[in-house]
Amino acid sequence: MKIDGGCHCSAITYRAEIDPENVLICHCSDCQTLSGSAYRTVAFAKDGSFELLSGTLKTYIKIADSGNQRAQTFCPECGSPIYSGSPGDNPKNVGIRVGSCRQRDELRPKKQYWCGSAQDWSDNISALPKFQVP
């Protein structure tokens, strides 16, 4: 599936190809902190398909407890997360942040990871009252 997207301020735009069956939710504490939310939703780009169309990404290298490095990219203007991947100019294993995709409504997660770190309340938010704010 071809997708496209960008940051909140439109300085960054991109396109990529993903497998919609490989969309996931990550509940790890790093994703919670880096997203500012209870979890992060990720769609993995097919190898070599991510193409930055406009702007220049800012990169933060996150070092895991294992010592592995993961580049966290975001817009330097508005701070919108765009993807994580291996460090370097041609990243591998690019995990696109679904919130930055124009097609996000079509990208239903198929699995969840690091569920032991999940916020207890995140299991069932469907019971919460719903409002449409103007």
Domain boundaries, the chain: 2-118
CATH of 2-118, one of 2.170.150.70, 3.40.50.150, 2.60.120.620, 1.10.3720.10: 2.170.150.70
Percent share of the chain, pLDDT over 90? 80
C-alpha–C-alpha distance, residues 32 and 38, integer Å: 5
pLDDT at 99 over 90: yes
pLDDT at position 112: 95
**Strand pairing class (58-63; 69-74):** antiparallel
pLDDT at position 91: 85
Model confidence over 35-86: pLDDT tens digits? 999 999 999 999 999 999 999 999 999 998 788 899 999 999 999 999 999 9
Assess contact for 94 and 88: CB atoms under 8 A.
no
By the 10 Å C-beta count (0-12 exposed, 13-18 middle, 19+ buried), 127 is classed as exposed
What pTM does this model have?
0.90
